[in-house]
Chains A and B, each alone.
Chain A
C-alpha cells in the first residue's frame, strides 16, 4: 500500500502539478520562472502607479486652489469692499 502511494507522490512532485492528489494541500509551491514575466502584474503595477500620481496631483491642485480662494475671501472680508 505504501509503495504505490510513494511512487504516485514522486511522479506528481516531478511533474510539478497537483493533478489528483492523495493528500490535501492548499497550494503547490513552484519555483518562480523569470523567463515568462507576469505582464498582467507589470501592467497593473504601472497602471496603479499612474492612477495614484494623477490622483495626488489633482488633490494637491484642488487643495492649493481652495487655500488661495480662502485667502482671497479673508482679504476681502478684512479690507471690506474698497
Chain B
C-alpha cells in the first residue's frame, strides 16, 4: 500500500478495471514486446509468460496509483469546498446580465 491514511478507506475504491491499471498494464505489455524485439525474438508470439507477468505488474501498480491519486484529489476538493463554505463573501454568485444590457446601442448609418 502506498501508505495512505485510514480516512482513504472511506472513499469508494477504484474498480478493478480503472484508467491507471489499463494504461500501466498496456505499458507493461509493450515493455515485454520491446524486450522481445531487442532480443531478436518474434515480437508477439514469444515470451507469453513474460508478457502476462509485465501486464499484471503494471495492472497491480496502476490500481494502487489510481487509489492514491483519487485520495489526493478528494482531499484537495474537501479542503477547497471547506474554504468556499467558510468564506461566502468571496464567492458571491454574480447577477446574470441580460443580452440587451450587454450590447452597445445600435445607431444605423444608412
Q: Which residues of A approach B to under 8 Å, CB–CB? A: 32, 34, 41-42, 45-46, 48-49, 52-53, 55-57, 59-60, 63-64, 66-67, 70
Contact = CB atoms under 8 A, between A and B. Distances in A.
Nearest to A68: B12
Closest 7 CB pairs of A and B: A63-B13, A45-B49, A45-B53, A49-B56, A42-B49, A66-B9, A52-B56
B86 interface: no
A52 B61 CA distance: 10
Interface of B: 9-13, 16, 39, 41, 49-50, 52-53, 56-57, 59-60, 63, 67
B9 A56 contact: no
A21 B59 CA distance: 46
A34 B49 CA distance: 14
Main secondary structure of the interface of B (DSSP, over half): helix
Main secondary structure of the interface of A (DSSP, over half): helix
A48 B50 CA distance: 11
21 contacts: A41-B49, A42-B49, A45-B53, A46-B49, A46-B52, A48-B56, A49-B49, A49-B52, A49-B56, A52-B56, A55-B60, A56-B16, A56-B63, A59-B63, A60-B16, A66-B9, A67-B9, A67-B10, A67-B13, A70-B9, A70-B10
Contacts of A60: 13, 16, 63
Contacts of A55: 60
Contacts of B50: 45
B11 A53 contact: no
Q: Which of B9, B13, B16 has the most CB of A within 10 A?
A: B13
B10 A48 contact: no
Contacts of B60: 52, 55-56
Contacts of A67: 9-13
